[in-house]
Structure 1
Amino acid sequence: MDLNFQNFDNVNSTNEQSGAFGGNIGDRNNLVGSGASSSAPSGGVFDDAQSGTSTRKGNLFSFEYYQQFFDVETDQVLVLIVIKRLINSVVPTHRNYIQDFLQPIPDLWGPFWVSVTLVFSIGIFGNLAQFIENDGAKGSYGSDFRMVTSASTLIFLYVVIVPLLLYGLLWNRRSEMLHPYVDLVCLYGYSLAIFIPVTFLWIINMGWFRWALIFASVSLSGTVLARAIWPAVKNDVNKMIAFGTVATVVILHFLLAFTFKVYFFDSMHSIPPNL
C-alpha cells in the first residue's frame, strides 16, 4: 500500500488567519479564559482594576466622577468587597490596606452600605438595650427614632469630614504618598464594619464586657487605619507630626466607639420615649 504524506506546515498560519487556536502550547493568548473578558461588559470601574490601570473619568464636581465608584457587578462585589475589603478592614496584617486592597480603584458602594447598616444597627440594638436596661419603663418605654438621625449624623461626620481633614494635612505637609480623598473615604467607610457585630453584642448589660468590646474593636480596625496612614507620614521631617497624626487617627476611632457606647447603649442617661 502506497502511503502519501502531506505537508501541514501551513495549518497554523491558516488557523491564525481564521482566529482559531493553532495548538501551540507557548501561545497563551488564545487559551480558555483569556478570551472571556472580550464578551464581558466593559466600562465598569473594576474592569480597569483587573488590568492594573486606573482611568478615573470626569472631574471632581461631575456626576460621572462619582458614578464610576458605584459601577460594580455582583461577582465583583462578592470578591473585592466582601472577601478582601470587609474582612481585611477588621483583620490587621502586615499589608497596607489602601495600597493592597483599595488601589487602583476604590469604591463607595461598600462604605455606603456599611455606614447605612451601622446606622440601623445602632437604632435597633440601641433601643433594645435601652428597653432592657430600663426594664421596659414599666410598659411606658417607646422606641426613640432619634437614635437613627443622631447615629447617621455622627457617622457621616466621621466618614466624610475626618478623611477630608486628613487629606488636607497630607497635602499641606506635601506628603510623598498623597492618597486621593476617595481612597481615604473608602478606608474609613470600611473601618466601621467591625462595629456592626459589636452593636449587637452591646445589648448585654455588662460594663466590663462593653469596654472589652471597645478595646478589641478599636485595636483591630485602628491598627488597619494606622498601618494604612503611616507610610504617607513616616517620611515627614517633623516626626512629632508623623506620630501625632497616627495617634490622632487611633484616638478618633476610639472616641467614635466610646460615643456609640455611652450615648446609644449606656443607661447613665435615660432617653425619653418618642411620643
Structure 2
Amino acid sequence: MTSQGDYSVVVDIDDEGDLGDLDYNPDPEFQNTNFPSASGNVSTPGRKPATPGLPPNSSAPGKLHMWDINFYAQFFDLNTNDLLVRCKAALYPKANFLDVIDGNPDLYGPIWITTTVVLVLFLTGTLAHYFNGGELPGGGKYDFRLLTGAAGLMYGYTFIIPVALWGALKWWGGEAGILEVACLYGYANLVWIPVAVGSISTITILNYVFVALGFAMSATFLFRNLFPIVSSTDAKTAKMLLIVAVAAHAGLAITIKILFFQHKSPVKKT
C-alpha cells in the first residue's frame, strides 16, 4: 500500500506476481463465446445447436417426414414375439385387440398375413377344383386367374375398406387412427388360412360350414374391436357403420366361397 497525499491505493498481487487479465467490460449483459461444447462443436451466435440423431433440417426431435425411410420403418418395428401375440389375440380374442397393440399398430402383420392368405387361397382353390373333377394341377394346368383374383380381393378389402371406414368416421366427427383400423382388418384375415385348408374337401356342406365359421369368428373379432372406435360418433351413426362393416365382411366370405371353393368359379377358365 502506498500513500500519496490523501489517497491510498491497494493492489492485490498473487503469489507469482501475476496481475492476471484485466478485461474491463462496462456492459453487464452476457457476451457470445466460442468455447467448444462437449461434443466438439463450436456454437455460432444466432444458430441453434443441432440435435444428435436428427437431420440438420429437422425442426423438432422425433418429427419424421414421408420421404424419410424411418417414417415407414416405424410401421414395421415388430419382433417375432409381438407378432405371435397379436396373431393369437386375433384367433382367440380374449382381450380387446386395441389393448393388445397398445397404441403401436403395425403394417408388417397385415401385409404378410394378407399375402399368405392370397397364396393359400390360390393353392387350395386349385386343389378344390381338381378334387371336384377339374384338370390335373400338374402339367401346366394351373389357372393363375385364381391368383390375381385372390390378390385383388384380399388386398382390396384389407386396405380399401379401412380407408373408407376411417374417412366416414372423420366425416361424422369420430376419432380413429387409419393405421389402427388397417391393422385390425389385416389381423382379422388370419382366420381364412385354416378355413381355406379345410375347404379343400369335396363335401359341399363342409365347405359351407368352414366358410360360415370363418365369417363368424372374424366378424365377431371386427365387431368387438370396431365398436369402441365407432362409438366416438353418435349412436345412430355408430350402429349404421357397424352394420355396413359386418355386411361388407359377409360379402367377402360369400365371394371367397364362390370364387375358390366352387367347381364353376367365375374367375377360373372352364
TM score, norm. by length of structure 2: 0.70
- Change in 2 beyond 3 A, CA 1:61/1:135: same
Residue 240 of structure 1 aligns to which amino acid in structure 2? K
- Change in 2 beyond 3 A, CA 1:70/1:138: closer
- Change in 2 beyond 3 A, CA 1:118/1:219: same
The answer for unaligned runs of 5 or more in structure 2 is: 1-52, 54-60
Range with greater deviation from structure 2 (216-225 or 117-126): 216-225
Partner in structure 2 of residue 66 of structure 1:
72
- Change in 2 beyond 3 A, CA 1:228/1:59: farther
Q: How does 1:141-160 map to 2 (within 5 A)?
A: 142-160=141-159
The one of 239, 255, 266 equivalent to 1:243 is: 239
Q: How does 1:163-242 map to 2 (within 5 A)?
A: 163-175=162-174, 178-234=175-231, 236-237=233-234, 239-242=235-238
User: C-alpha deviations, 1:56-88, integer Å up to 9, x for none?
Assistant: 75245654322211133xxx32x2111x21111
- Change in 2 beyond 3 A, CA 1:174/1:126: same
Partner in structure 1 of residue 89 of structure 2:
88
User: 1:265, 1:102 → 2: CA distance?
Assistant: 33
The number of residues matched between the two structures is: 210
**Stretches of 4+ moved more than 6 A in 1?**
137-141
TM score, norm. by length of structure 1: 0.69
- Change in 2 beyond 3 A, CA 1:174/1:210: same
Are 1:214 and 1:254, in contact at CA under 8 Å, matched by a contact in 2? Answer: no
Matched, 1:115 2:114: yes
Higher relative contact order (CA 8 A, sep 6+): 1
Secondary structure in structure 2 of the residue aligned to 1:194: helix
User: 2:140, 2:69 → 1: CA distance?
Assistant: 45
Structure 1 position 226, deviation (Å) = 0.8
User: 2:68, 2:165 → 1: CA distance?
Assistant: 23
The answer for unaligned runs of 5 or more in structure 1 is: 1-42, 44-54
User: C-alpha deviations, 1:178-228, integer Å up to 9, x for none?
Assistant: 221111111111100000111111100222211211221121121111111
Residue 202 of structure 1 aligns to which amino acid in structure 2? S
RMSD of equivalent CA atoms: 2.5
Query: What fraction of aligned residue pairs are identical, expressed as a percent?
Result: 28
Answer 1 or 2: which has greater helix percent. Answer: 1
Largest Rg, 1 or 2 = 2
